[in-house]
Amino acid sequence: MIQFDRHRRLRTTPALRDLVRENRVTRDDLIMPVFIVEDLKGKREISSMPGVYQFGLDTILSEIKAITELGIKAIILFGLPSHKDDVGTGAWADDGIVQQATRKIKAAYPDLIIIADTCLCEYTSTGHCGVVDENGYVLNDESLKLIVKTAVSQTKAGADIIAPSNAMDGFVAAIRQGLDEAGFVNTPIMSYAVKYASSFYGPFRDAANSAPEFGDRKSYQMDPANRLDALREVASDEKEGADMVMVKPSMAFGDIMRDVREQTLLPLVAYNVSGEYSMVKAAAANGWIDEAKIVDEILTGMKRAGADLIITYFAKDVAARLVK
């Protein structure tokens, strides 16, 4: 008799396969990105992201209603101001678009968790995530001051979680201090700790009107070729007081997700970014792939890699399937 293992025993029927499934995505894991536009009436589809819309203040509550009815518990809010300037004043204005939207959503849906993406690139005329000097260099410490003001202003408006994404060194320490001094000791920071300078953000820059006017983000976001750099970023953010850490993008970075999972005890967030969404949509529109099955496989893969939470433009679609 030859000896071998019968792995197929546990794969015999659907019920048995369900019983031994190791990873699954639940509605509790999903965070839906929402784009709010200051001078927009109604809603507008993003051409490079079919099925994803920008909303005006007049239509935002109907979208939030749909999201909450699907059982999604958290959104991440991105704002597009009607006016940009050198330093991104609109990001921390009390009547800034994210602040207005946050107050409006909180009043109607107090239980929904509002995560504020805390960055300047949508608000600066340069399209960079901080203040730029005469050589086109994004200044770290000067930009930190502005990101702190933004975080405090967003929290005052009602944001439940601050998610800094501008990739300056020390942003977690600076924001933690700023929030504590303003009395918000209980507001968590979800750090975009591992944020690569990725071409997968292309469609987002249409959605958020935030492409850099010159140069690129490579002096502040990470080189996709690097792994140890990611682990250093996580170590720093953890030391500085981050409550959750993120890896972004996700599909080409499963190894990093796993490495970060092994390194930290903090909740880990995967960002399934715009380009990853658009690729799936384009292939599905051509009839080349089964969209629902592919999306489930991609998101389950992120859970398997170690993610606890997933920010994804597919959140509503996935939640709708899970409701059944």
Rounded Cα distance, 223 and 195, in Å = 9
Residue 233 sits in the site that holds ligand PBG (CB under 6 A): no
Q: Are 30 and 319 in contact (CB under 8 A)?
A: yes
Residue 201 sits in the site that holds ligand PBG (CB under 6 A): yes
Residue 273 sits in the site that holds ligand PBG (CB under 6 A): yes
Q: Which of 239, 76, 101 is closest to 171 using CA atoms?
A: 239
Q: How far is the CB of 17 from ligand PBG (least distance, A)?
A: 32
Classify 127 as helix, strand or coil: coil
Residue 171 sits in the site that holds ligand PBG (CB under 6 A): no
Which residue, judged by CB position, is nearest to ligand PBG in the bound state? Answer: 204
**b/e map of 190-204 (b: 16 or more CB within 10 Å)?**
bbbbbbbebebbebb
Residue 161 sits in the site that holds ligand PBG (CB under 6 A): no
Nearer to ligand PBG, 58 or 86 (CB): 86
Binds ligand PBG by CB under 6 A, chosen from 40, 93, 114, 119: 119
Which are the catalytic amino acids?
A: 195, 248
Residue 121 sits in the site that holds ligand PBG (CB under 6 A): yes
Binds ligand PBG by CB under 6 A, chosen from 53, 55, 204, 314: 204
Classify 55 as helix, strand or coil: strand
Q: How far is the CB of 217 from ligand PBG (least distance, A)?
A: 6
- Cis-peptide into 249, omega within 30 deg: yes
User: What distances in angstroms separate CA 122 from CA 17, 41, 81, 230, 300, one per listed residue?
Assistant: 46, 19, 7, 25, 31
Binds ligand PBG by CB under 6 A, chosen from 99, 150, 165, 250: 165
What are 168-171's contacts with CB under 8 Å, separation 24+? 168/129, 168/130, 168/138, 168/140, 168/143, 168/144, 168/220, 169/140, 169/236, 170/140, 170/141, 170/144, 170/240, 171/144, 171/147
Q: How far is the CB of 253 from ligand PBG (least distance, A)?
A: 13
Nearer to ligand PBG, 130 or 178 (CB): 130
Q: How far is the CB of 313 from ligand PBG (least distance, A)?
A: 7
Q: How far is the CB of 121 from ligand PBG (least distance, A)?
A: 5
Tally of CB atoms within 10 A around 48: 18
Q: How far is the CB of 316 from ligand PBG (least distance, A)?
A: 15
Nearer to ligand PBG, 234 or 311 (CB): 311
Site for ligand PBG in 177-196 (CB under 6 A): none
- Residue written as token pair 């320490």: 173
Binds ligand PBG by CB under 6 A, chosen from 126, 274, 278, 312: 274
Q: Which residues contact 299 (CB under 8 A, 6 or more apart)?
A: 25, 272, 310, 312, 314, 318
Nearer to ligand PBG, 54 or 165 (CB): 165
- List residues binding ligand PBG (CB under 6 A): 117, 119, 121, 129, 165-166, 201, 204, 210, 217, 273-274
